[in-house]
Amino acid sequence: MKTINHITWHYPAVTKKHRHALNGHKSCVLWFTGLSGSGKSTLANAVDYKLFQHGVKSYVLDGDNIRHGLNQDLGFRVEDRKENIRRIGEVAKLFVDSGQMISTAFISPFREDREIVRNMLEPEEFIEIYLKCPIQICESRDPKGLYKKARNGKIADFTGISSPYEIPVDPEITIDTEKLSIEQSVDKIFSYFKEKKIL
């Protein structure tokens, strides 16, 4: 046990390695990042469904869903966005410790915040998946009408319009969602799983 300010961390009797052995697969975070409309939630759920079909214990944390509950007290200022990602990182770390494959679908626009989450985990447990897609394509999709609202000044600090998106420097996987279909994108991710012996 380790103690910080009278708060004690209790180490579990059942370890992550025990869970890996029981499940027959490793656990990790699939961190989907990209502009709004790049396809993060769609692809994360498609990967999750295929994992489910293969009997893999997995779950998806979606940006909008999290803001309905855990992070409903946060806005979209830079400070709030950083705290949003920090909390998600902590939750994702718990899922990894439980032996599951966890997919997170968040814009997560700042490299520093993504790197903080990476450093919460062990090497190779954080798989950054950059969904590359021109903003013109994302804006043409605009499934929630957010770009239109941002262009009209109804949404402040909107990523790609009035707030920056910092492209990953060296992501584990880059997927061009303008060119690749959902099926091709899923196959590319599963090829990475096989290459790294995650499944």
Ramachandran category for residue 55: left, alpha or beta (phi over 0 → left; psi -120 to 50 → alpha): left
Do 106 and 63 meet the contact criterion of CB atoms below 8 Å apart? yes
The residue range of the domain holding 61 is 2-195
**pLDDT tens string 168-178:** 999 999 999 99
Binding-site positions for ATP read 34-41
185/140 Cα distance (integer angstroms): 20
Q: How far apart are CA 100 and CA 59, in angstroms?
A: 7
The total domain count for the chain is 1
Instruction: Give the residue-averaged pLDDT of 48-77.
Output: 90
Record the tokens describing residue 142, joined without a space. Answer: 């605009």
| Residue numbers belonging to the annotated binding site | 34-41
CB crowding 52-66: b at 16 or more within 10 Å, else e: eeeebbbebbbbeeb
Q: How many CB atoms lie within 10 A of CB 71?
A: 18
Label residue 4 by pLDDT band (50, 70, 90). Answer: low
**Using 50, 70 and 90 to split pLDDT, how confident is the model at 135?**
very high
pLDDT in tens, 45-58: 999 999 999 999 99
The Cα-based distances of 32 to 106, 114, 129, 187, 195 in angstroms read 6, 10, 5, 15, 19
CATH number, domain with residue 77:
3.40.50.300
3-class secondary structure, 140: helix
* Stretch 168-195: mean pLDDT: 97
Question: What's the mean pLDDT in 124-150?
Answer: 92
Q: The tokens of 100 are what?
A: 């599951």
Contact 30, 127 (CB under 8 A): yes
Catalytic residue numbers read 108
Average pLDDT estimate for 50-76: 89
Q: Three-class SS string for 63-120? A: HHHHHHCCCCCCCCCHHHHHHHHHHHHHHHHHHHHCCCEEEEECCCCCHHHHHHHHHH
The pTM assigned to this predicted structure is 0.91
Task: With residue 175 as reference, give the H or E element that holds it.
Answer: strand 173-176
